[in-house]
């Protein structure tokens, strides 16, 4: 692949990953809010739902940051932290099908590595 092709492929990967994660997070947030509204009016919400609510909300913020040009590195590290916590949350509940989260994390790692390499090239030229 040429340098131009690699650069654009990695940028496309960033956008696809960001949009997919943002969409999935919005769906999770909507489903969690719907579940919370269906609970009896006891005033007590299951801790599991609070964790999902916070996780989905932080993931939405991180995905938007990841897609924004100025804060995309901070957003990528925040997303990595969210994915790690989500994997832990799933495993603690006995749900071991977390392959999609591992793929998301690796896509982020590829983008970060490419970005770091591109920055090193710019420094070396200057």
Give the residue, 37 or 122, on which the prediction is more confident: 37
pLDDT of residue 126: 61
Flag whether pLDDT at 19 surpasses 80: yes
Least confident piece of the model among 40-54, 63-77, 86-100, 105-119: 40-54
Flag whether pLDDT at 63 surpasses 80: yes
Flag whether pLDDT at 10 surpasses 90: yes
Q: What's the count of helices (H) and strands (E) in the chain, helices before strands? A: 4, 0
Average pLDDT, the chain: 92
Reported confidence tier of residue 34, pLDDT bands at 50, 70, 90: very high
| 46-72 burial code (b ≥16 CB/10 A, e <16) | eeeeeebbebbebbbebbebbbeeeeb
Sign of CA dihedral 51, 52, 53, 59: positive
**Maximum distance among all Cα pairs of the chain, rounded to whole angstroms:** 64
How far apart are alpha carbons 104 and 69 in whole angstroms?
A: 19
């Amino acid at each position: 692949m040429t340098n131009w092709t690699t650069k654009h492929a990695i940028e496309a990967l960033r956008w696809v990953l960001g949009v997919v994660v943002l969409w999935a997070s919005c769906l999770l947030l909507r489903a969690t809010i719907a579940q919370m509204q269906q609970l009896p009016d006891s005033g007590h919400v299951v801790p599991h739902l609070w964790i999902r609510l916070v996780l989905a909300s932080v993931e939405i913020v991180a995905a938007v940051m990841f897609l924004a040009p100025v804060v995309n590195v901070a957003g990528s590290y925040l997303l990595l932290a969210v994915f790690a916590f989500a994997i832990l949350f799933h495993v603690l509940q006995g749900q071991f099908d977390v392959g999609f989260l591992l793929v998301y994390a690796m896509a982020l790692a590829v983008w970060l590595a490419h970005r770091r390499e591109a920055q090193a090239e710019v420094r070396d030229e200057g």
